[in-house]
Amino acid sequence: MLVPWRGFWNPRSKAPGQEEERHVKANDRDYNERFTYADNHIKTAKYTFYTFLPINLFEQFQRFANAYFLVLLILQLIPEISSLSWFTTIVPLVLVLTITAVKDATDDYFRHKSDQQVNTRQSQVLIKGKIQKEKWMNVRVGDIIKLENNQFVAADVLLLSSSEPYGLCYIETAELDGETNLKVRQALTVTSDLGADVAKLADFNGEVVCEPPNNKLDKFIGTLYWKDNKYSLDNEKMLLRGCMLRNTEWCFGMVIFAGLQTKLMQNCGRTKFKRTSIDRLMNTLVLWIFGFLICMGIILAIGNTIWEQRVGRNFWAYLLWDELLSSAVFSGFLTFWSYIIILNTVVPISLYVSVEVLRLGHSYFINWDRKMYYSRKDTPAEARTTTLNEELGQVEFIFSDKTGTLTQNIMVFSKCSINGNTYGENMLPIIFIDSQKTPCVDFSFNPLMDRKFRFHDSSLVEAIKLEEPLVQEFFRLLALCHTVMPEERSEGELVYQAQSPDEGALVTAARNFGFVFRARTPETITLYEMGQPVTYQLLAILDFNNVRKRMSVIVRNPKGQLKLYSKGADTIIFDRLEPANEELMYTTSEHLNEFAGEGLRTLALAYKDLDEDMFDEWMKKLLFASAALENREERLGALYEEVEQGLMLLGATAIEDKLQEGVPETISCLTLANIKIWVLTGDKLETAMNIGYSCNMLRDDMNEVFIISSHTMLEVQQELKNAKERIMGPSRERFSSSQDVGKTDMYASDSVFEETIIAECALIINGHSLAHALEADLEQILLDVACLCKTVICCRVTPLQKAQVVELVKRHKRAVTLAIGDGANDVSMIKTAHIGVGISGQEGMQAVLASDYSFAQFRYLQRLLLVHGRWSYHRMCNFLCYFFYKNFAFTLVHFWFGFLCGFSAQTVYDQWFITLFNIVYTSLPVLAMGVFDQDVNEQYSLRYPNLYRPGQLNLLFNKRKFFTCTLQGVCTSFILFFIPYGAFLCAVRDDGSHISDQQSFAVTIATSLVIVVSVQIGLDTNYWTAVNHFFIWGSLAVYFAILFAMNSDGIFRIFPSQFPFVGTARNALNQKSVWLVILLTTVVCIMPVVAMRFLKTDLHPTQTDKASIRIKITNLRRVRRTSSRRSAYAFAHQQGYGELITSGKNMKVHTSSTSAVPSSSPGRTHSSGNWIENMLKKRGAVEAEETMDSGVTEHIRADERSEDSLETLYTH
């Protein structure tokens, strides 16, 4: 697609007369129809059966390439110009158009089907006092519909009544905001009284006045007028289309927005069309080729003018021109167009289609990859965009979210601090306990426990059993202060529906420690405290939000006491404590630091006894404020603030955020591939840093970790400047020294190894500072510093800032960026980056829907980039090189012939050959290469991340490569023309009759061309599967079959004027001399290429060359290898460990090295030790093979990891 089509079709386009306010009357279709609101019919399909052809063709001809060929076709119809028959262009053009049209039609068919499926879903609509089944598309604004459990909401609906008490109902909004937890919606009391009484509901004639349709999912402002009363409506009373009803038997609602005006539809924007750098390069190159074509046209036109003047006019006896055309200049002008037609094949018509076919193939390979399939979630990887594959082989920056991406987003309650005492074992031993299967705390005293819960400090249970009041209060708070929904499927089998996994973990912890949250109604919460049911009256929930960073509940316990329980971010809670708590606060915050230091997520807990009178007064204010139409939230916020003062600190909780499998390994592998990984997270600094340590992105042995967390612009600037100076200074020294080491100390691999570790810095920047640093003045220095650092972590960033950071790198670095995330907050980043990857994990679908690729585990990224990306890039580049080469070799023969045919635009080949060359004779082998080729197999791609480098440096296809391959094409065409020319100058057949006629000449050159390009594709193919064999040999066979068919008597008798080549193939190809010419041409075209390639791989082998040679050798020696495996492996082991142990560096490390998952490591030494160990393992394995393969280990280490040697390898 040269120019992506951006049509005028837009679901969001609105009529010019914008709706300012919406009036909807229940049960009154006549009234509502006056406003022409959208109905509930959804149409995402582009075409109908009848409009498909015109609209699709119109769209297709808007593409530059197609339009170009249409113009050519028109030119060909002018007889004075026409140098080729019309079918030479129309056959490929029709083929290309058909393929695209079929693809569009299939896409549209599926859209039709999905539209159809959605539109015909059944819903129950209250019509004329009766509940009737209706299709979704027939639901109108103002209708009252009945929803049942686990049904999708058909439109944006105002909740009127439900089966649950107080008009409550529960929904899951995964499709809207990606959150899988349940949300509560509550109807107005007046409407919830309507219940399920159909008659009453049919009489309901309230009128809703509300905002016009918009895409804000969390806001709704409206008012209900009913029976002369006015009720304010907010988002809490709305059920949006796309939600699913849960835990609610039924509910009734009134449709406010339908169809395309629903918030869901308003939100699904057009997916932004991403293009790869190769796409852009390709467009440039096509324009260049176009320019080149015009140049050739001009040269030949000038030649024609001169020829007509000097030679042609003497020749008129034979070539009689019309008088009109007798001017040489005019003849030159016509020749220009004729040559444009003849030479048009340098602009490859099938290029874009072929590229799309390749990408589609590569996408399928990604979808089919079993090694990217996550069985626990039954999720295969999915390429959601098929246009970006080769860019996966060029990624230089990865921007990763933390939660759910690096981590599993599984929260485990691991520690707590209650009243100044910490509970929960130190982390380090826990790992061993885990691995050595030491018993966990026994919760058998509690019949309602969650069996999956683990805790390793029995002293806390003792404390509970001793009924220490503060400990009890601590867990009571955890059991009361939350928004979790319980679901008790059978007696004692509780399942919690939690808004955030943290909350779930806390409530589960409370449950296991004997404070079981069992049931809730809007006004009560029932706990089983140590087996006894206790019911608390729930008076108010002061909910979480981003600003408040805390939540509180106000409850009345059975004894009648009023209590406020609060949990929240430590800083926020500490600010609101009673002064008497200072000492406890001090110890607790020490504990908190400790927890944070271990990478745990912390919350502080506090409570307060409330005074009855004060509370009553406050409650009145609250009711008043909540009825307010304006500034409701601000007012509520102020009221909450008022009551959450003078709290008593209880303690703090610490939740472990588990790392996903294989994250540290993946990160170090990607780092070795020279990909920079930046973590952008909304978490706080400490948490982010700790995840950094556990993923080996931060290490103790790092030179410097710059933490930038200032609040003013100037400070940020200063800190960045300092950081830059600090890095620049020592790094220069180090550069020289590391070179020294590389030269002199070839055997001490460990010191080389260390050098690279030391030569690293890290930058950690928080959201405040980032806001300043992203401003125009500072962004350059931020980028400089960040790129000098090995690791960059941005914490406390907003979704917008994530996108800004990506944008910054994209703008200034000209590097390919990849963003990976799982949540709704990563969507902006995913959309901004060149490639967006979604983790199809816990937090719903939002990120996945916005992404280009999705899979279930972060570690698959390694495979996606190093295997699939690398292959795609390699294949695409080879494909393009060959494609341009082929077209030049094919077309430029006409150029050379021009000099010998009076620049008359006579073609060399048969017209049918020109028609079929690109689409039949040569298309399949190159497609097969583009789909199946593997320069290096997947094991090696993963084992040597260095092989990823050519993609980042853009080495396989760039302007230089393009020139090389077009030059090769030009040379080939030259040889293809002039060797037969020399041979045919005075050739005759072996029976004396002539052979140097045009048709024999054409057949000879065409045959040589087909053979030469087939041999060339054979040389370019590294991986000859059966398909490649079939296509390459098949193409040759098809060429000869078609050649003989077209030159046969039979077809000539039927169409004598279309197939004038009758008998030529027979008469030419039975001549030995013709075959000698073909052989000579082939050898002369191919041997220089072979020599060049051989010299290149022999003298300056790239990493890839080396690897493929290695594979070859390995394959050859496989037998020997298996026999010597054991001892060689042992050898490698010995070497790696011995030096480490003797140096004493790993003494601390050694004790913890059995842990497979370093995620929960408390200390930095531990993590780095782990990392070193992993590295050693990896290297050990490689070395082991090295020893076996070649027996030269030392040699390898000399070059290993020395950056400059790499550089030289690629610059040559």
The binding site for ATP comprises 401-403, 503, 544, 567, 601, 681-683, 796, 802, 825-826
Q: Kindly tell me which residue out of 649, 848, 914, 1069 binds another protein, with binding defined by CB under 8 A.
A: 848
Quick one: which segment of 223-231, 712-720, 756-764, 1063-1071 binds another protein (CB under 8 A)?
1063-1071
1090 belongs to the binding site for another protein (CB under 8 A) = yes
Based on the residue annotation, tell me whether 935 is a catalytic residue of this protein: no
Q: Minimum distance between the CB of residue 493 and another protein, rounded to whole angstroms?
A: 21
Of 774, 591, 593, 786, whose CA–CA distance to 685 is shortest? 593
696 belongs to the binding site for another protein (CB under 8 A) = no
Place of tokens 């499927």: 489
What residues pair up with 653 in beta bridges, in sequence order? 416, 603
4 belongs to the binding site for another protein (CB under 8 A) = no
Of 496, 512, 603, whose CA–CA distance to 181 is shortest? 496
Cα torsion 962, 964, 970, 971 to 10°: value is -160
Task: Give me the phi and psi of 513, to 5 degrees please.
Answer: -85, 15
Q: Which is nearer to another protein, 113 or 811 (CB)?
A: 113
605 belongs to the binding site for another protein (CB under 8 A) = no
Q: Which is nearer to another protein, 261 or 1067 (CB)?
A: 1067
Site for another protein in 46-85 (CB under 8 A): 46, 79, 83
1051 belongs to the binding site for another protein (CB under 8 A) = no
Task: State which amino acid sits at residue 385.
Answer: T
Q: Which is nearer to another protein, 240 or 655 (CB)?
A: 240
Q: Minimum distance between the CB of residue 935 and another protein, rounded to whole angstroms?
A: 9
Quick one: which segment of 546-554, 702-710, 1121-1129, 1174-1182 binds another protein (CB under 8 A)?
1174-1182
Tokens of 627: 């009825």
Rounded Cα distance, 936 and 950, in Å: 13
Q: Kindly tell me which residue out of 605, 1179, 1187, 1188 binds another protein, with binding defined by CB under 8 A.
A: 1179
Quick one: which segment of 290-298, 349-357, 695-703, 896-904 binds another protein (CB under 8 A)?
896-904
Could you tell me if 864 and 381 are in contact, meaning their C-beta atoms sit under 8 angstroms apart? Answer: yes
Site for another protein in 767-806 (CB under 8 A): none
603 belongs to the binding site for another protein (CB under 8 A) = no
108, 143, 156, 401: the active-site residue: 401
Rounded Cα distance, 1083 and 747, in Å: 47
Rounded Cα distance, 15 and 7, in Å: 17
- Residues annotated as binding site for Mg(2+)? 401, 403, 822, 826
Q: Which is nearer to another protein, 871 or 873 (CB)?
A: 871
Site residue total, another protein (CB under 8 A): 150
Q: What is the CA 724 to chain-centroid distance, rounded?
A: 32
Q: Kindly tell me which residue out of 614, 1087, 1116, 1141 binds another protein, with binding defined by CB under 8 A.
A: 1087
345 belongs to the binding site for another protein (CB under 8 A) = no
What residues pair up with 525 in beta bridges, in sequence order? 520, 536
Quick one: which segment of 246-254, 412-420, 786-794, 974-982 binds another protein (CB under 8 A)?
974-982
Q: Minimum distance between the CB of residue 387 and another protein, rounded to whole angstroms?
A: 11
Q: Kindly tell me which residue out of 985, 1119, 1123, 1142 binds another protein, with binding defined by CB under 8 A.
A: 985
3-class SS string, 929-985: HHHHCCCCCHHHHHHCHHHHHHHHCCCCCCHHHHHHHHHHHHHHHHHHHHHHHHHHC
Q: Which is nearer to another protein, 254 or 867 (CB)?
A: 867
Site for another protein in 229-268 (CB under 8 A): 242, 244, 264-265, 268
Buried b (16+ CB within 10 A) or exposed e, 1079-1115: ebbbebbbeebeeeeeeeeeeeebbbbbbbebbeeee
Tokens of 52: 């498909």
3-class SS string, 836-890: EEEECCCCCCHHHHHCCEEECCCCHHHHHHHHHHHHHHHHHHHHHHHHHHHHHHH
Q: Minimum distance between the CB of residue 1075 and another protein, rounded to whole angstroms?
A: 10
Q: How many degrees, rounded to 5, is the angle at CA 930 between CA 928 and CA 931?
A: 65
Q: Characterize the bridge pairing of strands 222-226 and 207-210.
A: antiparallel
Tokens of 42: 């959804």
Radius of gyration of the CA atoms of the chain, in A? 37
Site for another protein in 263-322 (CB under 8 A): 264-265, 268-271, 311, 314-315, 317-322
Site for another protein in 451-510 (CB under 8 A): none
Site for another protein in 991-1020 (CB under 8 A): 991-1002, 1019
Binding mask 146-175 for another protein (x = CB under 8 A): ------x---------------------xx
Q: Minimum distance between the CB of residue 179 and another protein, rounded to whole angstroms?
A: 13
Place of tokens 């650092």: 789
Q: Which is nearer to another protein, 625 or 987 (CB)?
A: 987
Rounded Cα distance, 390 and 876, in Å: 7
Q: Minimum distance between the CB of residue 902 and another protein, rounded to whole angstroms?
A: 5
Q: Which is nearer to another protein, 521 or 756 (CB)?
A: 756
Site for another protein in 361-390 (CB under 8 A): 365, 367-370, 373, 375, 378-380, 382
Angle separating helix axes 52-61 and 64-76, nearest 10 degrees? 90
Could you tell me if 781 and 665 are in contact, meaning their C-beta atoms sit under 8 angstroms apart? Answer: no
Cα torsion 855, 857, 859, 860 to 10°: value is -20
Rounded Cα distance, 977 and 989, in Å: 20
- Residues annotated as binding site? 401-403, 503, 544, 567, 601, 681-683, 796, 802, 822, 825-826
102 belongs to the binding site for another protein (CB under 8 A) = no
Quick one: which segment of 4-12, 277-285, 409-417, 801-809 binds another protein (CB under 8 A)?
4-12
Buried b (16+ CB within 10 A) or exposed e, 425-442: bebbebbeeeeeeeeebe
Quick one: which segment of 345-353, 552-560, 681-689, 975-983 binds another protein (CB under 8 A)?
975-983
Quick one: which segment of 675-683, 796-804, 1083-1091, 1130-1138 binds another protein (CB under 8 A)?
1083-1091
Q: Kindly tell me which residue out of 41, 576, 721, 1066 binds another protein, with binding defined by CB under 8 A.
A: 1066
Site for another protein in 1098-1137 (CB under 8 A): 1098-1101, 1103, 1106-1113
Q: Would you name the residues annotated as active-site residues?
A: 401
